[in-house]
Structure 1
Amino acid sequence: MLFSPPSFAAEDTEEDEAYQKRVALSKKIKAMRELRKEMPVPPPAGLFGVYHLPEKGQFVTGINVQSFSFSGLLHGSDSVSAETVATTAPNIFFGNPMQPPTLRVIPKSVEANVLFPFINYAISDQMSLVAILPLIKKKLVMETFQGPMGTNSLGENTVRSNGVGDLKFGALYTPYTAYDDKGERTHSLLLSAVVSAPTGSIEEEDIMLTPMNTMTPARLAYGMQLGTGTWDALVGAAYWGKTGNWGWGAQYMATIPLEDENDNGWRFGDKHEMTGWASYSWDPTLVNSLRLRYETQDENEGLDPMIYGPGLGANPANYGGTKTEIIIGMNWMYDTARNLALEFSIPVAQDRNGYQLEQDYSIMLSWRNAFF
């Protein structure tokens, strides 16, 4: 019987493969560190129009997902019950035939989910073009009270709307960028000028439960429509700063309708948003952030004659107001120039115009992929 010496070829191959993997991982981490030096700390997921700042010929694609949940009712900043609203909140159509003096169709909860695919292409080292097309899905649960008065509930009714929202396109401009003596970007200023085209529907309908206990097709309330119906301007400015592992920033964004009314005779109110954040980079791949956001919006103007009746959402005065949110976030740079960001938001103060649903929370998820 011949003796065969042990073969070490298989072990050598496995060790070589493991070594090559370690080398590849080391190179990837080094590349991320070098790229991170050229970039500000990645922005939180929920910021509109704030992406990586590409150089000429480069572009960034990605998808933002936002989910909102509302339940309970507010009158200004005070919580109120559906029964209180049904017996005290005025119906602006009272005096017309068959219209009761108070609201009789009251929202109980809303879920809204929005998908924002986007592309950002740099036409120069300082300016890039951006386009965003939202895909929207909304669900509203309402409670209908019987007849013109009282608190006898007929039950709940769920209505839905879904489809394409308003297309947004425009330009992002970086007028100022500062570097330290190591070549790391320490300060950046970004200006945005975006136009929103009225591609989303403002004539969504569903079946409604009326106070007369009948199921009737009707146009949904303003907040359940998929678009604004107007050409709008979205203008803003954002600033980033960075030193070591710490980052910070602030953004202002205004959404201003460019028309007095849409084809159906109404428009949303002007909206102004302000936010500031701080972030910490634990390593080249992981960043956590804490953000404070404030929003104020005017009430709606005008009336759609097809949005009519004793429903809370039919009154333009029941839109807009102020809101302050605390937002925690995480940003994971899982590969060179690719990152996944997540934010969770809780309102800490809400003062709404008229009667409205109270926002419970929102979740923002963002995936970005840069091409160099």
Structure 2
Amino acid sequence: MFKHTCLTLGLIATGLVSFSSLADTSHSSTRAITHAPIGVMGDHTHSKGEYMMSYRMMNMEMSGNLQGSKSISNAQIATSVANPFANPPMSPPTVRVVPQDMSTQMHMLGFMYAPTNNMTLMAMINYVDKDMSLTTYQGGMGTNTLGNFDTASSGLADSKLAMLYRLFDSGKHKLHANIGWIIPTGSEEETAEVLTPMNMRMTMRLPYGMQLSSGSHQGELGLTYNGFYDQYSWGAQGLYTSPLNDNDQEYKVGDKLQMTAWAAYAVSDVLSTSARLKYSHSGKIRGMDSIIMAPVTTANPANYGGEMLDLALGFNTVVAGKHRLAFEYQIPLSQDVNGVQMEMDNMWTVGYQLAF
């Protein structure tokens, strides 16, 4: 799956670059077609002295569960998926708390400034809201449900500082390097009240996926290409992110590789539409938080990471050359997760940017 997907995206990117050799028309930076889809971060550089402020809101919905690439029912999870923290009778041999659905909303405030023509600096602050609904099964075995409950967390998430360094710019073709530092400004100690299989209400530390931060400093390296021809634009980006240290809870998230390729068409100078493929591969959590030991799939560090291929459709609008409003809707084409995890349904991103 990994090699096949990488080959597919590689062919797409090669096709885009080959098509770019046909370009013979210059473009204007005020056209909507000059922007990548709003879901692509760090997609462009600025000229010396230029500023840009941006706001993005992202919403992701998940429901049901996967084991690898196949659906798995609630009853199957409760009766056959091992609980790595089993210690009968206090902790049952199988997972007895099953996630049902989850929504994540992130608000991203960004700022860009170019001190030189070749260097653009970027800063991003993120605020996140997470909500999850779960079902608790009664006792240590069987399929009798005890009840449902909800957990939530919200607050400042990880922040990011980055430098975009221009490597090539002919007007029709642009290439720059992405160099980033992700700073753990959020919390990895969020708690909530849960319903246990023994019918007790307890306040516990939330599992990893409900925390607001990775807790680790992370380095990010990548390349971004943009091409332009008349009413068309296209591009590709590859980013690799890796934690630089264990966090205070003695674990770190897995390395992450993201590759995306897109194409856009100018309906007019102020409106463009886009289609994008995105591939991501992330590793399991390494280490563990000794306080997170509940009989739920999300408490197991092995149930994180995997591969995903998504399709996204969107549009860009530009007004007066400096106001940009954009939208993108994203759905999974394939998902192959490590262990047992929730299934992504869809994600949408809306954003506004002001250049000056």
Give the TM-score of the pair, scaled to structure 1.
0.87
- Of the three residues 71, 88, 101, the one matched with 1:79 is 71
Match of 2:37 in 1: 44
The one-letter code sitting in structure 1 at the alignment partner of 2:128 is I
Match of 1:125 in 2: 117
Aligned 8 A contact 2:186 2:212 in 1: yes
In structure 2, C-alpha distance between the alignment counterparts of 1:123 and 1:288, rounded to whole Å: 31
Q: CA deviation at 1:282?
A: 1.1
| Deviation string, structure 1 residues 116-157 (Cα, Å, up to 9, x no partner) | 100000010010111001000000101100000111111111
Match of 1:369 in 2: 354
| Deviation string, structure 1 residues 315-365 (Cα, Å, up to 9, x no partner) | 001000000001101001123221111100010100000000000000011
The one-letter code sitting in structure 2 at the alignment partner of 1:273 is Q
Match of 1:11 in 2: none
In structure 2, C-alpha distance between the alignment counterparts of 1:38 and 1:104, rounded to whole Å: 54
Aligned 8 A contact 1:247 1:278 in 2: yes
Q: CA RMSD in A?
A: 1.5
The alignment partner of 2:298 has SS state of: helix
Match of 1:245 in 2: 231
How is 1:213-232 mapped onto 2 (pairs within 5 angstroms)?
213-232=199-218
- Of the three residues 151, 162, 187, the one matched with 1:201 is 187
Match of 1:349 in 2: 334
| Deviation string, structure 1 residues 211-262 (Cα, Å, up to 9, x no partner) | 0111100000101000000000122111000110011100001111011x21
Query: In the alignment, is residue 99 of structure 1 matched against residue 99 of structure 2?
Result: no
In structure 1, C-alpha distance between the alignment counterparts of 2:36 and 2:298, rounded to whole Å: 35
Question: How high is the sequence identity, in percent, across the aligned residues?
Answer: 36
Unaligned runs of 5+ in 1: 1-32, 179-184
Larger Rg over CA atoms: 1
The one-letter code sitting in structure 2 at the alignment partner of 1:75 is Q
Aligned 8 A contact 2:30 2:318 in 1: no
| Deviation string, structure 1 residues 74-125 (Cα, Å, up to 9, x no partner) | 0000001111000000100124661111000110000000011000000100
In structure 2, C-alpha distance between the alignment counterparts of 1:237 and 1:40, rounded to whole Å: 20
| Deviation string, structure 1 residues 18-42 (Cα, Å, up to 9, x no partner) | xxxxxxxxxxxxxxx9843799721
Query: In the alignment, is residue 275 of structure 1 matched against residue 260 of structure 2?
Result: yes
Match of 1:140 in 2: 132
Query: In the alignment, is residue 190 of structure 1 matched against residue 176 of structure 2?
Result: yes
Aligned 8 A contact 2:33 2:316 in 1: no
Q: Which has the higher contact order (CA 8 A, sep 6+)?
A: 2
The one-letter code sitting in structure 2 at the alignment partner of 1:367 is Y
Give the TM-score of the pair, scaled to structure 2.
0.90
Bigger drift between 91-100 and 314-323 goes to 91-100
- Of the three residues 146, 167, 183, the one matched with 1:175 is 167
Query: In the alignment, is residue 294 of structure 1 matched against residue 279 of structure 2?
Result: yes
Moved over 6 A (4+): 37-40
Unaligned runs of 5+ in 2: 1-25
The one-letter code sitting in structure 1 at the alignment partner of 2:63 is S
The alignment partner of 2:34 has SS state of: coil
Pair 55,354 (structure 1): closer, same or farther in 2 beyond 3 Å? same
In structure 2, C-alpha distance between the alignment counterparts of 1:234 and 1:153, rounded to whole Å: 44
Aligned 8 A contact 1:40 1:240 in 2: no
Match of 2:54 in 1: 62
